[in-house]
Amino acid sequence: MTWKHPSSPVTKKFKVQRSAAKVIATVFWDAKGEILLNILPQDKCVNAAKYSSTLGCLRDAIRCKRPGLLRRGVVLQHDKATPQSARLKLQWLQRYGWEILHHPAHSPDLAPSDFYLFAPLNRHLGGIALENEGDLIGELNLKNWFAHLDLDFFRVGIYSLLSRWLKCIDLHEDYVK
């Protein structure tokens, strides 16, 4: 309760807008394009079981889109987020013989999605307010956006990782610009 003089002006109340809910989109891609786009429903979080399920979907997508990749071996690069470092995920990766590419902590400069993919994706979204994951899938049609990107776009993004890794090694795992 606030004490004020009877002649004090009435306090203005500002309209509060509900903040936008987060929609998590997990994108797996390589030098040939998008392999899997997985959108997590609103108000859901990524845990070890969900991430393992996503890896199963990725394996199925690779089997359909890049069958030779399963024979040559899959190498994943991702950050060290808790669900992604859980025992369940490690068991899954060992069962299928997939490797994890070491990724220094807090290094978005070494994650192709962070340094290469998300800026064009943000421009595509253009500040559009989304109500739910259906908007992300339907109206904006992210699958279509990925399909219309030039194949050189993906190739350049993946191959630029090599020069960034070499800079990181030269800088003793310091931040690469």
pLDDT tens digits in sequence order for the chain, 177 residues long: 566 777 777 777 666 665 555 667 788 989 999 999 888 776 777 787 888 888 999 999 999 999 888 888 888 887 666 655 677 777 888 888 888 877 766 676 777 787 888 888 888 877 666 666 666 665 457 778 888 889 899 999 888 888 887 887 777 666 656
- For position 83, what pLDDT does the model report? 59
Give the CATH number, domain containing residue 33.
Answer: 3.30.420.10
- For position 128, what pLDDT does the model report? 67
Specify if 107 maps to a domain: yes
Specify if 81 maps to a domain: yes
Specify if 121 maps to a domain: yes
Write the Ramachandran bin of 14: left for phi over 0, alpha for psi from -120 to 50, otherwise beta.
Answer: beta
What's the CA gap between 171 and 146, in Å, rounded? 33
Specify if 19 maps to a domain: no
Number of Cβ within 10 Å of residue 23's Cβ equals: 19
Specify if 13 maps to a domain: no
- For position 11, what pLDDT does the model report? 72
pTM of the model: 0.73
- H, E, C per residue of 89-123: HHHHHHHHCCEECCCCCCCHHHCHHHHHHHHHHHH
Specify if 11 maps to a domain: no
Number of domains in the chain: 1
Which structural domain, as residue segments, surrounds residue 44?
A: 24-170
What's the CA gap between 76 and 105, in Å, rounded? 15
SS3 50: helix
Give the chain's end-to-end CA distance (angstroms, integer). Answer: 51
Q: What angle do CA 88, 93, 96 make, to 5 degrees?
A: 125
- For position 131, what pLDDT does the model report? 63
Determine phi and psi for 121, rounding to 5 degrees: -65, -40
- For position 175, what pLDDT does the model report? 60
How far, in Å, are 24, 96, 99, 136, 142 from residue 43 at the CA level? 9, 30, 30, 15, 20
Specify if 66 maps to a domain: yes
- For position 19, what pLDDT does the model report? 54
Specify if 7 maps to a domain: no
- For position 6, what pLDDT does the model report? 76
- For position 26, what pLDDT does the model report? 83
